[in-house]
Amino acid sequence: MAEFTLELNDDQKQVRDWLHGFAADVIRPAASEWDEREETPWPVIQEAAKVGIYSLDFYAQQFFDPTGLGVPMAMEELFWGDAGIALSIVGTGLAAVGVLANGTEEQIGTWIPQMYGDADDVKVAAFCSSEPDAGSDVASMRTRAVYDQAKDEWVLNGTKTWATNGGIANVHVVVAVVDAELGSKGHASFIVPPNTPGLSQGQKFKKHGIRASHTAEVVLADVRVPGHCLLGGKEKLDQRLARARERAASGGERVKNAAMATFEASRPAVGAMAVGTARAAYEVALDYAKTRTQFGRPVIDNQGIAFQLADMRTQIDAARLLVWRASWMATTGKPFTSAEGSMSKLYASETAKKVTAQAVQILGGNGFTREYPVERMHRDAAIYTIFEGTSEIQRLVIARTLSGMPIR
């Protein structure tokens, strides 16, 4: 088992520097254009695929890093470049994690490669969980999956929302209700293969931030998928549902649902994204404070500015430490006895909002214009306290974990 360390090894440093170079040379110069266009930056994704960043092999290497630091290190560097473009590059990863968390080895080997395609034919994937009336309240999910035993097919009906790459994805991973009486424990995840009839894109959202990332509704109208597209297989699902029914009848311990398993695995990674955005804004503010002169001296010589920068750097480092700890714990199999995954996502996302706001303030009027990137970074940072579990939900998870109450 890898020991927890705050020092990247030589291989990790090499990967970090490579990613930083790509973020600086390819992502940042394109950030403003694709933010304005509010379109998926296919040319940048293709460049990432050509150099090996947008690929199954790269994410597998980071995911299976024995220290647990590969994924958060990669997320921080890419999102340091730009959050919208970076999310377009890594958004497929959430669907991949959904398959890794719930699928069989055969399903992992079959579907994850199709999520990425290759450098000559880039593909993306979408994880579809949230619904118009079921965001944080996953127990209110209405999308249904009904098994047609005669044809060994599942029939899906419902509407998903806030789906990254929704409607444009080659592969969709859809969470649906298979047993409504069990609430969130009666959910299962399904692969919807490419070009499956009945799946269509609904509304595409025009967003406050992360505009280069495609976010849309996904409409499922009598979508039929083969039985082997149920992640984990029907035998495993039947066993899990039976255990859930027994526990419900006896008032025993609750079991995790499919969507929660995916989010728990991805929360530290989201925290790392927030750290990257916060660090980027802090660096712009620090450079500006050193070079901007007022009353005959750099503004950083003013205690009010200097203390803000000191707090910003302290909070960023603290957020990174929480993210790294949670990532290491997850990789080495240590249980989140105090909801350490939610802690990392909560603190890092709140830090990103605070630090980017302070960066705008330090730049003054310039920070409020699109001539400087902190305006965009501040808009982008707003998403971190919302998606994959709001800050309020993270606090609820932490509080219930500490008290011993069930997490529904």
Report the alpha-carbon distance of residue 41 to residue 32 in Å, rounded: 11
Alpha helices (H) in 23-82, listed in sequence order: 28-37, 42-51, 56-63, 70-81
Give which of 133, 131, 134, 112 is closest to 123, Cα–Cα: 112
Q: In degrees rounded to 5, what are phi and psi of residue 132?
A: -55, -35
Spatial contact of 339 and 326, defined as CB atoms under 8 Å apart? no
Please tell me which residue in 76, 340, 350, 388 is annotated as part of the active site: 388
Spatial contact of 137 and 164, defined as CB atoms under 8 Å apart? no
Report the alpha-carbon distance of residue 173 to residue 165 in Å, rounded: 11
219 Cβ partners below 8 Å, 6+ apart? 159, 160, 199, 200, 201, 202
Q: If residue 108 lies in a helix (H) or strand (E), which one and from where to where? A: helix 105-116
What is the torsional sign of CA 24, 26, 32, 35? negative
Report the alpha-carbon distance of residue 210 to residue 317 in Å, rounded: 23
Phi-psi label, residue 233: left if phi above 0, alpha if psi -120 to 50, beta otherwise: left
72 Cβ partners below 8 Å, 6+ apart? 268, 269, 271, 272, 275, 320, 323, 324, 327
Phi-psi label, residue 158: left if phi above 0, alpha if psi -120 to 50, beta otherwise: left
What is the torsional sign of CA 311, 314, 320, 326? negative
Alpha helices (H) in 158-257, listed in sequence order: 234-250
Report the alpha-carbon distance of residue 215 to residue 167 in Å, rounded: 9
**Three-state DSSP class for residue 199:** strand
Catalytic residue check, 388: yes
Question: DSSP labels for 124-177?
Answer: -EEEE--BTTBSS-GGG---EEEEETTTTEEEEEEEEEEEETTTT-SEEEEEEE
Residues known to be catalytic? 388
